[in-house]
Structures are given as C-alpha cells and as structure tokens.
Structure 1
Amino acid sequence: MTANDSAHSRGAVAVIGMAGRFPGSSTVEGFWHNLVAGTESLTALDDRRSSRQPEYRPAYGLLTDAAAFDAEYFGYSPQEALITDPQQRQTLECAHEALERAGHGASPRRPTTGVFVGGSHTRYGERVRARLDEMPFIDAWQVAHGNDADFLSSRVAYKLGLTGPAVTVLSACSTSLVAVHLAVRSLLDGECAMALAGGASVLPEAPSTPYVPGGVIAPDGHCRPFDAAAAGTVGAGAVGLVVLRPLADALAAGDHVHAVILGSAVNNDGRDKLGFTAPSVPGQAAAVRAAHRAAGVTADEVGYVEAHGTATPLGDPVEVAALTAAFRESTELRGYCRIGSVKGNLGHADAAAGVVGLIKTVLAVEHGVLPASLHFDEPNPDIDFESTPFRVNATTVPWRTPDGRPRVAGVNSLGLGGTNAHVVVAQAPAGTGTSSGRPHQLLLVSGRTPAAADRAASRLATHFEDHPATDLADAAWTLRTGRTHHTHRRFAVAGTAAEAAAALRAGGPAGGQVERTEPVPVFLFAGQGGQRTGMARDLYEHEPVFRRHLDEICELAADPLGLDLRAVLFPDGERGCGPASQHMNSIAVGQPAVFAVQYAQARLLMSWGVRPAAVAGHSLGAYAAACLAGVFALPDAVHLVVERGRLLGSLPAGAMAAVSLPEEAVTRSLPAGLSVGAVNGPGQCTVSGPAALVADYVRAQRDRAVQARMLRIATAGHSPLVEPVLARFADFLAGTAREEARLPMISDTTGEWADPGALRSVEYWVRHLRRPVRFGQVLGTLSARPGTALVDIGPGRTLSTLARQHPDYHDGQLVVHTSPHPAEATSGLATLLGAVGRLWSHGAHVDLGAPQGDERRRRVPLPTYPFERTRFLVPAVTSERPDRAPRPLGSWIDPPRVPEASGDRAEAAGGTGGPGTGAERDGTGAERDVLEAVLGAFGKALGIPDVAGHDGFLDLGGDSLVATRLAAWATAEFQVSVSAADILKAATAASLARLIQDRTETADTLTSLWGAGAPDGSTR
C-alpha cells in the first residue's frame, strides 16, 4: 500500500492549522524562513560566563517577550495575569492563533474540539508563592490554578470554549509528540471532531544552567546533531500547537490541509536499558515500526526523518541505530533517506521539542523543501552512516520524490525515562478546485480596540501584498466564518488581492465601535427615476438568489407585458438610446423593471441574514414594500405593478420635477394645472403635471436661482392627471388578493405607521396613486425610532440622499444605499457588498456564512488577531531583597495599565465625587472614605492601579473567586455582612460602596436602638 492510498483508505488525520513561538520568531512563517535560510536562533549569554569554567560559553534559545500577554483579550485582570505562568499564557495565545490559522476561530461554527497539550516545569509558581505577602487577595489556591501543569489544557478549553477532551500530557522531552498521538487517537475514536495538540516550554528569562564537563550541555553554545564535534545540547524555549482533523472531514469542509498524519505510535523502553535516563535501541525501534504499521507505509517510502537529535554523545548514536533497526524491517537500501534535527537551529525545547520538529516536517512536506540540519561537518564516529538508510541533510535542498510519489516523513521524539513517540507525515492530497467566485469580495477585520482593528487591517494588507495570488473569495470566506468578530470593525470591498491591500491601507470604510444593541434594518424602496438598462447586471450574473427571484418576476410579467424584462434590463451590446433603453424609459416597462430589481435585491439581502424590521416605499416603491410585508403575494404584486404602469402610460404626456423649496413656497408658486406630487423633506418637493407646464415651471425656478430639475418619469404621478384611471385601477385591485401585513409598514401617503387593516383596502391604494407622497414625514417617523438602519433598496440612491438631507438626520444614524447612482461607473455588486459591510461594521446582524451563494470555498491561512501585549512578570526573590513590604503590583507590569481617558475618570478614581462614584449622593466624608477603601481594594484585588467608581467589576477581569476574596475583605473591614453575590450584583465599586454604606448605617441604627436598653436596664 502506498502513502497516497493510505491517506484515503485508512484513518488519516489532516494538519489544518499551526501556531507557535520559537527562538528568533513568534510565527510559523518566521520559523520556516529561518530554517530555510539556515539561521541559528540561539543567543549567547556572555554575561554568564565564568572564569572558573572558561571553556563554557552558555547559550539559550530565547523567546522574545516571553512574559508579555494580552490579558484583557482573554478576560484576565492584571493581577490574575501576573500570577499565571507565562507558559500557560503563551499556550493560550498560540491556541487561539492556531484555531484562527485553521479558519476555525469563530466558536459557534467550530466543530467539537479537544485539547492535548503538555508543558515543562518552569518554577514560576515558586516565584509567586515567595512573594504572596506582597500580593493582597492572592492565596496558594489561586497560584496553583495559574501555574500547575494540571490546568494547562483545561485553561485553554475554558477560555476558548472547547468542549472535547482536555488532557494535559507529561512525558518529559517527548511530551508534545505524545500529545499529538493522543489527539490523533481521540479523533479516530470519535471523541472529538477537531483537536489542538502540542506543547510548551516557556521561561520568562534564560535559565542559569550549571555546566558539568561530559554532561548533556554543550560547552561551546552550539548544538551539533550527528556531528563528530557534538558535545551536548543547548536549551531553548518554544510553544508549538497544531490543529488536527480527520482528513475526510477536512477535505469536505474546505480546510487548508498542510500535511497528513498517516499514523503514529507511542511506547516505553521499560527496563530494557542501562538505567532510567539511558536510551534504548529496541524500545525506540519498536515505536518507529509501530508507527509505520499504523500508517500503512514501508520504510522505503519515507524520504526524511526529523530526529530527536540532541547532539549528546550517547543519544544520537542510539537513535540512529534504533531508526536503522526499524527501517531494516522493510528495506535494505542505504543512504536514501535524509535525516536532520531542528535542535541545531534553535536548541532543545524540552516538552515542546517534538511538536517543533513536527511543525518543521509538516512545512517541509508541504513546500517540498528540506531545510539544512545545522553544524554538521563530519559524522559522529560512533554512527556508521554508510551502513544505514540515512544521510544527514546538511544543506537546504528541494525535496524530490521518484515517480512523483507523495512526500513522506517521520518525526521522532524521545522522552527522558523512555517514553518514545513517532509520527508519520505525508504530503496532502490535491484539493478540489473552487469556482472563481464573484468579481468582488467583502473582507472583514475587527479588534477589541481601535488600534487592534487598525493593526488587523494592516497585517491583512501586508499578507495580500506578500501573497498577490491569494484567492480573494477564499480569504473573504475565511475572514467571515473563521474569525471572532469584535467590537471595533473595518471592512473592504475588492476584486483582487492588490485592490484589497490598497483599500485596507487607505483605512477603508470603518464602522467604529459596535453598540450593545444591534441596529434594526428598515428597507426603503424608491420609486421610478433611477432606472436604466444594465442595472443590476452583475448581481444577475453572479448571485443565484438574485437571479432566481428576478427570473420569477420576469416570467410572471412576460404575458401581461408582452416582452421579457430581461431583454430590457440586460440587452446584448446595446449602447445609447436603443430599443431596450426606450422601453426602460417608458412607464409601462420601467415600473415593472424597477419593482423586479428591488424585490430581487431585497430577497438577496434577506438570504444574507439582513432582515428588515419594517418597510416603507416611495410611490412605486410602496408595492415592493407591501409585497415584502406580505400584503400582496408576488404574482399579484407583479400583475398589479404591470397594470399600474400600463394605466399611467395611457395618460397624456406628463412629467415630474424636483424643486428645492418648502411645500408652502411651492404651493404658492404653482401655476394652474400643476400640483405637489411629493414632499420629500422640509425643502424638497416634487411638482407634477403636464410635461410642458412642468418644464416651464422648472425654467422659471432656475431663473429665480432655485434648484429644480426634471425627473426621468414620463407621467404626472400623484396629480389630477391620474384621476381618469382611478376607477379602472380600483376594479383591478378589487380582483387582487390582499392579506394583512406581516411586517410593520410606514405609509408614504400619510407618513405614519400604516394600519395593517387599511393596507388591505382598495381605497388605500387608490388614494396612494392620487395623493402626494409624504416621504419627508416617513423619515421623520423613522427618526423617532432610535437604533434603525435605513437601507435604500436600489436602483439609485435617492432615498438615502433624502435621509441624509433630512433635518432629523445625525451622524449616529446609519443610512446605506445598495445600488450605485445611475451616473456612477461602479459595480452594483461592489456597492451592495459595501452596504452589507457598513451594516456589519455598525453591529447589524449579517449571516456571514450565507453571502457565499452556491460556491464551494476553502479556508486559507491568514494573519491572526494582533494581540496587544503587556509584560507581566513577578521578579525572582534574590538575596539582595531588602524587605518584604508590599509594593504596587503596577511595578511588575510593564507598561502599567492606563485607564481610558474620560472627563470624570480621574475624579472618580480619586473619590472626589465624579459621576458614577456614588459620592454625589450626599458627599459625606464617611461615604467618601468607604468609596476610597473599596476603590483601593478593587485595585489590589485586580492588579489595576487606578479604578474608577463606574468601572465594571467583570469588565476589569473580576470573577467569582476574586469576588469571594473582596467579600471577605469587606465583611472584615466594615463589620457588615457582604457576600460574593453582593459583589457581582453591585457590578461597580461605587455601587458596592453604597451597599456597604447603607448596611453600615442600618447596623448603626440598630445598635443605637438596642444598645440603649429598656428603662429597667434589661435589653429589649
């Protein structure tokens, strides 16, 4: 059986995401770049050299900013972050990044996910325990939560909402690869559908490692796997996590598959070795053979082995001997399989070593490149490479396989004490292609702060610049469905990666901070006037939902119209005033065409989760609104609009004009024969009547410097000229079914909310045809309903313009248009996606999985959330420590948390009676004293130097455990009963201070009452 067959017929598991922290890089991409470049990422610790051991040059693989952490992102208070082991913090951040890299960062859509991770013993908890007297409100129980290895996996599961098995693995140096094996088994056994696996070894500072000549530490500060000069290893810090999923599921879901784990095995040497710490050839060989059997491969299929390779005098020869014994079970070939060790690049990462080697191997398999194993000049004389299947990969080379077979590799990891792990990794099968997608894509980024949102946009722009061939549709899909969407939002609409980068660099449309309540969409439908041939063509071509609804309307209208509206909307090759344009400009055809586009566009938006809470229309637009509200069934609405257009088209030539004057001024200036057809705002009216009279009126107003223009409407709607057809229109209406509206609708005849029963009457719609449109009043009615988002449903953007010109409009009012202006050379699809982006960026509900239509998309690796880190580090206790007096926790946080600036925050923090402090109630000294004490206690319990009275306890990172500590303090401090529930219910320091003050006053009153005693000296 070949590796490729095995990937499909056996229980193969896909690696779909990776993240890590490595010496020399904080990303997987940077790690790979350093490997390919042959960069040694060890740091010489020259300041630790000793004259007593001049031959020893200490070095370590340092992590940059190992003590830094985005506490607020994960809901930690500064104090909780401070006492939590940096190893656990870094693991948590990497877990979040790995899931986002896999395209599964959004928890509601994420499959059931397990966590299998392990870590090293860091001793950070010992630092914290040594300073407990300097940290009020902290006890050993809380320190254990933040530092003990038991909680490493469950912390990730809790903070990220992962509900599969959460298992912490500890097997010394093989920990992280054993964790991968256990995750694979859990996936294949069905315990979870996806898994995070790996490990960490994070020290906030380089350790002081004692050097023992002949021991395991390299004297020269370099790790030289398999080399004759190898004399020991060099320590390093690292975090590595992979996201795993059964291959079949990953392919079906469109996940990006970096590589495939074909099989794995774990065992222990038992007693078959010289001592507990000694390696064993039989045990290691048995683990490799078991992994090959599980993977269904033979040794001659394996082209590379990432060895444990610590460069110790005993370890490397034993490992090569064990690998040779395992390979000889199925091949006698020599020197065909390359071998290497990442420890030459960055040192031995202890519990994380195995997964670091796995990530290197996955990348090598994926990219077809074998990075050099550094510091190999001459083979270790104790290793007879000539008789083995192996040769050291001393230089970076392309990885070529015979006959184009899949690349297959092994990863070996050996734990002190004898727990061995081996994983077989293979090249991913070719993925199925995806369609080209729509020509424009909606790209979404967000952050918990404005700065984070801006950084997320910048990082995404850089990614598109560095990867111009990125499939933008796949990227858009990944961003929409594979990310958590935070408070501060940015979006861009683009057709190519270059356009996306430029839009994101330019800042793009931004929605600012999302309010706690979602804006409620109200759909507004314009009347005739914005129609043109070609409108919505790209929606018809690229959006199946739009096309389906438009086709339905065109087929319903074909018989009564005597033509196919699609031939008018989308004429082939017509320019200028051809037959289609002439039809479009006629009211008999133009009105059904506008209705068709509006209705189909509204249905498309609704399929994307943008659902109106209410509707309103302007003249003809009222029919699309009423149809959407359920007053008319679609077939009846189409026939009604066609008949309305036919009747209006049968009238003598008429016209309408927009005039920028108040209604009273227009009424006074109108000559006989003209009337007000619409009042769109305090200074926006439409005049209607015979075409010649309207034209004369427009010229007269222009002569008076009044803005006036003719509209593209060939009838005098809402004027006396329509009266001859009212009876026939009523007869047609009487034969049309009308139902009670299912959505609230504002009448453009009255400007008020329409009575659902009235909308069913013939009289309502007859009056609607004759009376003036009062859309200005519609906008006024909507302005009285806070939190609405006005959505102008095309064609054109007349109603959104009117909304912004209305005197009740303000900057906080969200108004979007879904179609370009007729004069704009802008894509209708891009405009519509921009409208959806604006709605999303302001917090409106959008079904982010829906706008993909019928396309099948793939997730692609994209930049992850830009954490805003602060350094949290409890300093080690030294003999120079002068005293044990408590000190501000802010001195251990760099930079200290700075509260958001506000006009009253400084006052509130100082307890001087600012808003929300509670001191404004009566300003008594006792009350201010209580508040100041509570503010101080909040600050100490949460590790925040300045707490304002109105700051939310939970918002600052408080939880039930901290509340319990605060309750005990308050009870002892003020001699009144305060519970943890009181703390959580009070929510702020000011509220808690008021509660304590009230209970203190009540207790004082009772003491006074009962303490006086009865007249006879007894107590009552």
Structure 2
Amino acid sequence: MNTEDVDDSGFIAVIAMAGRFPGAPDVETFWDNLRAGRESVPDGDVPSFALLDGPELFDAGFFGYSPEDALITDPQHRLLLECAHEALERAGHGGPERLPTGVFVGGSITDHAALVRTWSRTSGVPVSESRVQQGNDVDFLANRVSYRLGLTGPAMAVQSACSSSLVAVHVAIGALLAGDCAMAIAGGASVPAEVPPLHHDPDDIFADDGRCRPFDAKGRGTVRASAVGLVVLRPLAEALADGDHVHAVIRGTAVNNDGRRTMGFHVPGVAGPAEAVRTAHLVAGVGADEIGYVEAHGTGTALGDPIEVAGLTRAFRESTDRAGFCRIGSVKGNVGHADAAAGIVGLIKTVLCVEHGVLPASLNFDAPNPAIDFASSPFVVNDRTVPWESGGRPRIAGTNVLAVGGTNAHAVVAEAPAALPGTPGRPEQLLVLSARTAPALDEAARRLADHLERHPDIDLADVAWTLQTGRATHAERRFVVAPDVPAAITALRTGTSGEHADGRRWAAGESVDFAALHTGERRRRVPLPTYPFERLPYLITSPGITSPDQGEHRP
C-alpha cells in the first residue's frame, strides 16, 4: 500500500508529551534511560515495584490549593494536574488564549481515600465525605484538570483497566475529529498512595523473581510500576498551519473487546487483539509491511506474550507474508507495568522512537519463549539499541495494549512531515519570563539558559514567540533582549535585561500585543523548559502525616 496516496484528513499530531516515570522525572530523562538500556526496577526486591521519586511533592499554591486540600487530594490526581500544565506549556499553548481543549484520562484505584478517612478520625480534623470523594475518585481526574487549568472541551475519565490510557487517546482522537474540541490532552496515571506489603501470588501476572523479561523463555511475569503520562493532540493539518512542533503523527487507532473469545476474564485472546490491530492498520491506511516496529504490551508472562504475538501475527498476515522484518519490544523490561498508565507509557516510547529514529533495546531478553513462533512471524525481538533503518520511507510503528477484561487498543504512529519553514525574525528578540515567586523566576531563567546551551541552533525568534504567546503570565516578571542565542544565554545568566520599550511595559504589568512584534513573519512553537514548580511534601500515611515540615503542611 502506498502511504502517499492515503487521505491524511484523519491524522492527528502529537504536539507535546509530559510524564513521570520510574527513574525519570520527565520525558527527556525517560528517553535517555531507554537509549542507555537502564532498568529502573529495584534490584533484589521480590515482588518488585518500580516507583516514582517524590510522588508526595506538589506545588499547592500554584494551583490554588490550601495545605489541607493538598493533603486530601490523591497524589495521583496532583501529579496528573502538574503534568497537564507542563504538557500544555511544552506544546506552546499554555497562555491565556487557549483553544477549546478536551481532557481524556484514565487512572488506577488507590487507597488514598481510606488514608484520608483514617487521618480525619485520628487527627480530629473533620473532612466531609464529599471532599474525600472529589479529591480521590477517578471520576474526577479529568474534571479536575479542566477546572484548574480553565479548559473548556470535553472532560472524561476513561477506565478499561490496563488499556485505559491508550483507550483515552482513542477517545480523544474521536472528539477531535468530531469537532468536540480543537486540542486534547490524553493519557493516564497510576500512582499508589502507599506501597502495600508485597507477597507473590501464583495466580497473578507478577514475576516471583522481581524482573520482567518480555518474550523471553525465562519470563515469569511482569513488575508493578507507577507512572504518569500525557500527550497533547491536534489535527495534523491545523498543527502544521499553526506552527506547532509535531513529534509524530497518529495515523489511526482502534479499540475493541475480546467478549467471550478467551479462556477466562483474566486471559487475553487472539482474535480480539488481532482485529484491533488490523482495524488500526485500515484506519491508518498502512500495510503491515510498512511497519518497522511494534511496542507490545509485553508483560513477560509465559501465556500472555505468546497470545499477544499470535494476535499481532494474525493481523499482519492480512496484508503481508513477509517474516522477520518488524522489530518488537516492550518498555516493561525498563520500567515495569504501570497498570492504567501502561498504554500511554508505551505510546510515548513509540513516539520517541519514531521521532528520533532509534529503537532502544527491549531488556532482559536472552532466548525466546518457546511458545512463540518468531521464525515464521513478522517479528524479531529488538534486543539491542539500533538506528531505525527505514530505507527512506516514513518510519511507522504500532503501540499495542491488552487489558484484564478484554479491552484491546492499538495505535499506528508515523514520522512527522517536515515543518513549514519559518521566516527571519527581527535583529533583536524579546524573551519574557514570569513566575509566582522570585526564586521560581530565577530557576526559570537558569533552565532556559541551560536549554539554549544544549540547543545552540534553535531559532531565537521562535523561542521569543513561544515564550510570549505560549505561557501564562505571573506576578514576578523579567525580560531579556538579545540578537542571538549566545547573547541570550549570557543575559539570562547575568540578569541583564537590555532596553526594550515593550519589555519594560510588560515587566511593569501592562498588556503587550506580542503578535505585533512578529508582523509578516511565520513563527513556530518550539519545546522549551516549563514552569519550575516549587514542590513541597503533602503526604498522609497509615499512622499520620509524614513531612519534613509538620507545621506547614498540617491543616
């Protein structure tokens, strides 16, 4: 099938990503870890649980929370809210003039509500049941983001167990194509309030040796994990016309359920996943032999992996007889299985692979599970990090996810088209920064200087445009005037503003028509460092609050 003849009107651009992952506080570190083959699962713990660093930390003041409200609210909700704000800023759409934006997210059930109720009884601080529910129920995950960030598109909690976050992406794409919103945030979170004592259960899917080995003969199951992941989506044509940075393109998605076509509620089938994959291919307008990589669900279970590969093979055989041409891997060998967030973690990895043209190694693979017939399948386990050689064709990949209860989802992700070229900017550029506090403003300037040093070829006019139009404005303000990137770095580090009438007016609190500074230009939004949250610990544990500063965080 010739993808050049495919109608791209249904294609969706991924214009930003944000997340928290085991061993990685952001998407960049996550990608560095993947490329380096780092395993972010505790060594020696059986069973294992790959946790986030500092899940109790939160910038309550930034989002208008009192200390008591922050304590009551599930950390999973708080982290999702921070990531949503970060994702919009990464997209360059974090300013007050926002498109109608929908929020579609899934989450895991946690014990935080029970901890709040216990704490309320033992501390003597009354907390109503409605406050407990609003701060903890997964029903409010999406609504909270929309309310706190002022987003006016649909807000939906999407729950389908392990496939929740990728199903949320599918639902978001449907809303975009239907015109329900012009932009969408989609993904999910899975962050336990506290880690319970772990005991191996031979009836579950978790490895008794503390290691996830996708597709391997020694695979004994997966590893529990925490994660938060979000993508920002727009119709491709609109994103390109508006100068958005496009990381990759989602050409098609599909969702279905196994129904009764399995050996049990907890066991995946072959027919259902195969139909979801094949439908996604048809929606995307691609033949299976154009797909160079599949990010599989890949839990490392002796039964699940063979069933998944059989389903993928059946779908691929609908359009190709080739064998051994498509690499397959699973991020669960790196970071474990993030429950409701598993699908979005896999999708973010897939987008990064497509964007950078690199396939990171699928870890802990030595010899194939003997129940998987790789020899006659289209797939080869990607057991080492390699450049993605696509023969000059667009890089195309799939993200596959299965779930207990049978809801399957698949997404086809392709390399982004070339961006429309920008035009030359003015001789000097006005960079504006703001924050709620002076220390946060200093940190924002430092982060921007560091970013410019890492990207010396960045277009400074695009940087200026993104800062001027893609960020909310706060009380503490600073501006820098510079003719080029080296001068901007120096000014940011020394605090030298320079002279600019609009900059002075803006720093004094006046409104400025920044678009007028770029009249006749074609500017593009570029990924830049996001707001430097000033996080403090807000944590309720079984016996009570644990915090370095009890006085500040106790209501």
Among candidates 361, 379, 383, match of residue 394 of structure 1: 383
**Helix, strand or coil for the counterpart of 1:81?**
helix
Aligned counterparts, 1:245-644, within 5 A? 245-402=234-391, 404-509=392-497
Say if 1:123 and 1:388 are closer, same or farther in 2 by CA, change over 3 A: same
853, 868, 880: which one pairs with 2:534? 868
Q: How many residues align?
A: 554
Percent identity between matched residues is 61
Pairing of 1:603-752 with structure 2 (within 5 A):
none
Residue deviations 1:426-483 (CA, integer Å, cap 9, x gap):
0011111111211221111111000111111111111001111111111110011000
CA deviation digits over 1:216-252, x for unaligned, max 9? 2112211110011111100100000000000011011
The one-letter amino acid of 1:471's match is: D
Per the alignment, residue 838 of structure 1 pairs with 504
Per-residue deviation at 1:362? 0.4
Cα deviation for residue 414 of structure 1 reads: 0.7
In 1, Cα distance between equivalents of 2:124 and 2:164: 33
Q: Which residue of 2 aligns with 1:767?
A: none
User: Once superposed, what is the RMSD of the aligned Cα atoms?
Assistant: 1.5
Q: Report if aligned partners of 1:870, 1:894 keep a CA contact under 8 Å in 2.
A: no
Q: Deviations over 1:251-293 (max 9, x none)?
A: 1110000000000000000001111111100001000011011
Q: How far apart, in 1, do the equivalents of 2:528 and 2:37 lie?
A: 25
| Contact 1:23–1:62 under 8 Å retained in 2 | yes
Q: Distance in 1 between matches of 2:299 and 2:363?
A: 12
Q: Which digits, 9 at most, give the CA deviation of each residue in 1:856-893, with x for residues without a partner?
A: 1000100000000011111114xxxxxxxxx8xxx544
CA drift of 1:358 comes to 0.3
Amino acid at match of 2:261: D
Alpha-carbon shift at residue 45 of structure 1 (Å): 6.3
Secondary structure in 1 aligned to 2:218? coil
Contact 2:117 2:127 in 1 (8 A): no
Question: What is the aligned partner in structure 2 of residue 859 from structure 1?
Answer: 525
Structure 2, unaligned runs of 5 or more: none
Is the CA contact 1:490–1:508 (under 8 Å) kept in the aligned structure 2? no
Q: How does 1:143-222 map to 2 (within 5 A)?
A: 143-213=132-202, 215-222=204-211
- Structure-1 residue corresponding to 2:549: 895
Q: How far off its partner does 1:99 sit?
A: 0.5
Question: Is 2:109 the counterpart of 1:121?
Answer: yes
Per-residue deviation, 1:135: 4.6
Letter in 1 for 2:2: T
> Scaled by the length of structure 2, what TM-score is found?
0.97
Please tell me the residue identity of whatever aligns with 1:836: D
Q: Report which stretch shifted further, 840-849 or 369-378.
A: 840-849
| CA displacement at 1:847 relative to structure 2 | 1.4
C-alpha distance in 2 between matches for 1:451 and 1:260: 38
Structure 1 gap segments, 5+ residues each: 47-56, 510-829, 878-886, 899-942, 946-1020
Query: Which residue number corresponds to residue 669 of structure 1?
Result: none
Tell whether the 8 Å contact from 1:226 to 1:316 is kept in structure 2 after alignment: yes
SS in 2 for 1:44: coil
Structure 2 partner of 1:34: 33
CA–CA distance in structure 2, aligned partners of residues 331 and 211 of structure 1: 42
Do 2:111 and 2:194's aligned partners in 1 also have CA atoms closer than 8 Å? no
Please report how far the alpha carbon of residue 141 of structure 1 lies from its aligned counterpart in structure 2 after TM superposition: 1.1
Q: Hey, what's the Cα distance between the residues in 2 that align with 1:93 and 1:3?
A: 38
**Is the 8 Å Cα contact of residues 116 and 197 (structure 1) preserved in structure 2?**
yes
Q: 2 CA distance for matches of 1:185 and 1:357?
A: 20
Cα shift at 1:205: 3.8
2:23 maps to: 24
Deviations 1:384-426 (A, max 9, x none): 1000000011111111112x11100000011110000000000
Work out whether residues 113 and 195 of structure 1, in 8 Å CA contact, stay in contact via their aligned partners in 2: yes
Q: Deviations over 1:161-192 (max 9, x none)?
A: 11111000110000000000000010001110
1:918-937 alignment, distance < 5 Å = none
Cα displacement (A) at 1:204: 4.1
Cα distance per residue 1:937-977 (max 9 Å; x no partner): xxxxxx666xxxxxxxxxxxxxxxxxxxxxxxxxxxxxxxx
Q: Secondary structure at the match of 1:9?
A: coil
| SS of alignment partner, residue 185 of structure 1 | helix
Residue 139 of structure 1 corresponds to 128
Amino acid at match of 2:512: V
CA 1:416 to 1:214, structure 2 compared with 1: closer, same or farther past 3 Å?
closer
Checking the alignment, whether the CA contact within 8 Å between 1:870 and 1:895 is kept in structure 2 is no
Question: Residue type matched to 1:32 in 2?
Answer: W
TM-score by length of 1: 0.53
Report 1:4-15 matches (<5 A): 4-6=4-6, 9-15=8-14
Distance 1:491 1:399 in 2: 41
Q: 1:944 to 1:129 in 2, by over 3 A?
A: closer
Contact 1:226 1:376 in 2 (8 A): yes
Q: Distance in 2 between matches of 1:835 and 1:39?
A: 49
Q: Distance in 1 between matches of 2:256 and 2:310?
A: 17
Richer in helix (by share): 1
Separation of aligned partners in 2, 1:462 and 1:397 = 29
Q: How far 1:897 moved relative to its partner?
A: 6.8
